[in-house]
Chains A and B, each alone.
Chain A
């Protein structure tokens, strides 16, 4: 594998899109200027399961300014292959509460919204099944999701090891339903003209979205263009197109030539854009008298939707964590009459590592070993399941550096040992891990005679800093100054590239750009006199295979530390300090990289203390479907957040030496906080979020109750 020399990479450049964003001038999907827009407002199912027995659109249609009412009776037929959530308005069936059953097209958003309320839908409801319970009899093992992560794993004899282990732990942990809530709700402007769709769409990947929607509408992908230069957050909810995009396109078919604008309300995003499903997990650990793990078993049960499968694969990273002779993971699902869960930042790790890293803290205490030392003692040079060496693994380095910076050696391990002015103070630690993913794609480079290079790739910047960091990669791939590089992303007119997901963007897009730069050099050498022809030269190249994939196990690592303060009288929880040290390969742009890790750690705080989507069993939908009742971390919730990384370069992952940073920041941040809460109070909270009611009975001092 060619490696490239870092010149632009490593510079802490400010975002190239910064001046536009601080003015509000960077155009997001709904802000693209269009002529004579049509506004769309959906009609949502008012039952949970059943069928539509009648629709009366007469009042809605009679409203001045209404251009049409879309229902399953008049919507264009989409591909039968487009089942699941994308197969909307194709029959009278209702599969979950709030599913789209119609929509109103109107000259203004006010008219559309009002008229949508006038559409009368009659239903015949059937009994629904929406309550998730890990004891259900209909649990099943899902199909394999990703080749690198088998659903179930087995090594050795876990049960025998546990029964004879000097120290054994068997605990349950739960996480609730989480909603992504990017600040920009899902938005689409769809135009249907001359047999072609043009979509301005908030998406994590224009090409993955196009491939999916082309299938839904049975169209050649070349007849759909998707444009998305700026995306207002996504966090997994905008990887695959959701029903809102299909609805906008169905509406566009009704008004050829006119742009249809559709932005979900905040409330609608809770039922239409996926979510991290709740999990019920069990962790069993066995350890010897020296604090070395003898067995690790981790199982996860989660709900999925009856109409489309998704598994929150909470156990997927557990086999990679620690040396152990005996290992077992299990993943089971229950199909319910609910909307479909989806990928959400660190899908699997966020929920799963909360459980495992809480259990590791409990086991460290049981063994009488310091929690930092316990993790270092169980570190491993080879992957415990595959036996492969790691391309780079510096967990121990992260732990030691984090402990040094955090002041861990001052820690009295006794719970409830530190008090300060009515507050119990505790500290906690946890291991972070996220795997390296590579997704196929291509890139093109055009060399201009004046020394400029246009680098085009259908990549995305969802706030990650792609506009800046990928240009830095391109400059170094070409060996030229950054000012010579013009980057073009966010449009299906550019070469097919993967989505901004799985922390794989720089790895995948960067590898394709490096390959294109390589081929450009060779093509240039073949030119007469090695001279660039007057019209320039364009090379398009695919991301090459990585020859090391079968030889090394590739992952990012980190150590999360947290300090919490619990009010002795009220149970109020504050997190004055989080500190993370990460080993994530080369850092392309220290300024934007720090922000990604920082944001991830704050997501971990939000997961630990605030977020909880409450499903109403009577309706099968999230009750707290807005930002006042579904609390995400606000400014006042966040204390000092310190982000550090080890100087690391991984020669086996890609030509840049990077490993991916978008998700690992949130992994185990919640566990570090939960472990700190235990240290502060002596109370082990195994079900998130950690709310004050879970801390009150014991945190209240004796003097307050006597």
Chain B
């Protein structure tokens, strides 16, 4: 069965008819040709498909497009504004925080959203009880906070030890 939906991706509105079985990820990649989010597992286990959905990071392979009529989606491509890379993108290049690049758009979207979550005071497993995860006064985010919050994004090239300082630099900026 096909259903008409409208979604906004990186600022552009798309109206299309989708199979009710189609995920947001496949809608982006196979229907709209927006291939910035990647398919690594299709099961929400690797994070390569991470996008911002109405401002929050999600695994787009776990969402059905039919349930997201009217959604506002931002991919890594959409983080770059007016052709200028997002500071997180520049930092990933500077720190060589990737090799093959396949997990990278997901890592970057996840990192940007994660910093927002921490700034909003959302604790993680690594946050000491009763403390704020990240405040400018406490010197930004600790590495174990970054590692914990980024563990939903696998990198098989294993650039983790570069990803952490890349994110820390943006967090401290």
> Which residues of A are at the interface with B, using a C-beta cutoff of 8 A?
14-15, 17-28, 30-31, 33, 37, 108-111, 114, 180-185, 230-235, 263, 265-266, 462-465, 591-592, 594-596, 598-600, 602-603, 606, 626-628, 632-638, 640-641
Contact A235 B156, beta carbon cutoff 8 Å: yes
Interface residues on B, range: 35 or more
Contact B89 A602, beta carbon cutoff 8 Å: no
Chain A residues near B102 (CB, 8 Å)?
Answer: 28, 182-184, 232-233
Contact B40 A185, beta carbon cutoff 8 Å: yes
Contact A14 B96, beta carbon cutoff 8 Å: yes
Chain B residues near A230 (CB, 8 Å)?
Answer: 100-101
Contact partner of B108 (CB less than 8 A), chosen from A20, A22, A599, is A22
User: In the complex, how many angstroms separate the beta carbon of A141 from the nearest chain B beta carbon?
Assistant: 34
Whole-angstrom CA separation of A634 from B125 in the bound complex: 15
* 6 A-B pairs with least C-beta separation: A24-B36, A463-B100, A232-B102, A21-B101, A602-B158, A463-B99
- The residue on A at minimum CB distance from B40 is A183
Contact B38 A24, beta carbon cutoff 8 Å: yes
11 A-B residue pairs with Cβ-Cβ distance under 8 Å, sorted by A, are A22-B85, A37-B30, A110-B21, A183-B100, A185-B39, A463-B98, A465-B99, A633-B158, A634-B154, A635-B148, A635-B153
User: In the complex, how many angstroms separate the beta carbon of A304 from the nearest chain B beta carbon?
Assistant: 25
* Docked complex: B95-111 residues within 8 A CB-CB of A: 96, 98-105, 108
Contact B105 A598, beta carbon cutoff 8 Å: no
Chain A residues near B146 (CB, 8 Å)?
Answer: 635
Contact B93 A26, beta carbon cutoff 8 Å: no
- The residue on B at minimum CB distance from A180 is B156
Contact B19 A108, beta carbon cutoff 8 Å: yes
Contact partner of A19 (CB less than 8 A), chosen from B39, B85, B147, is B85
> Which residues of B are at the interface with A, using a C-beta cutoff of 8 A?
19, 21-22, 26, 29-30, 33, 35-43, 45-46, 48, 75-77, 79-80, 85, 89-90, 92-94, 96, 98-105, 108, 126, 144, 146-148, 150-151, 153-164
Please judge, given known A-B contacts A23-B36, A235-B156, A635-B153, whether A14 and B162 are in contact too, CB under 8 Å. no
For the A-B complex with A110-B21, A184-B102, A628-B45 known, give 11 more contacts whose Cβ atoms are closer than 8 Å.
A22-B89, A22-B92, A22-B98, A23-B36, A180-B156, A266-B43, A462-B100, A465-B99, A596-B99, A632-B156, A634-B160
Please judge, given known A-B contacts A233-B100, A635-B150, whether A23 and B80 are in contact too, CB under 8 Å. yes
- The residue on B at minimum CB distance from A28 is B102
Contact A598 B158, beta carbon cutoff 8 Å: yes
- The residue on B at minimum CB distance from A627 is B45
Whole-angstrom CA separation of A234 from B100 in the bound complex: 9
Chain A residues near B43 (CB, 8 Å)?
Answer: 266, 626-628
User: In the complex, how many angstroms separate the beta carbon of A244 from the nearest chain B beta carbon?
Assistant: 15
Contact A15 B29, beta carbon cutoff 8 Å: no
Chain B residues near A33 (CB, 8 Å)?
Answer: 33
B79, B150, B158, most chain A CB atoms within 10 A: B158
Chain B residues near A180 (CB, 8 Å)?
Answer: 156
Contact partner of B101 (CB less than 8 A), chosen from A463, A627, A633, is A463
Contact partner of B22 (CB less than 8 A), chosen from A31, A110, A182, A464, is A110
Contact A265 B98, beta carbon cutoff 8 Å: no
User: In the complex, how many angstroms separate the beta carbon of B30 from the nearest chain A beta carbon?
Assistant: 7
Whole-angstrom CA separation of A17 from B96 in the bound complex: 11
Contact A231 B100, beta carbon cutoff 8 Å: yes
User: In the complex, how many angstroms separate the beta carbon of A459 from the nearest chain B beta carbon?
Assistant: 15
Contact partner of A602 (CB less than 8 A), chosen from B39, B42, B150, B160, is B160
Contact A15 B96, beta carbon cutoff 8 Å: yes
Chain B residues near A596 (CB, 8 Å)?
Answer: 99
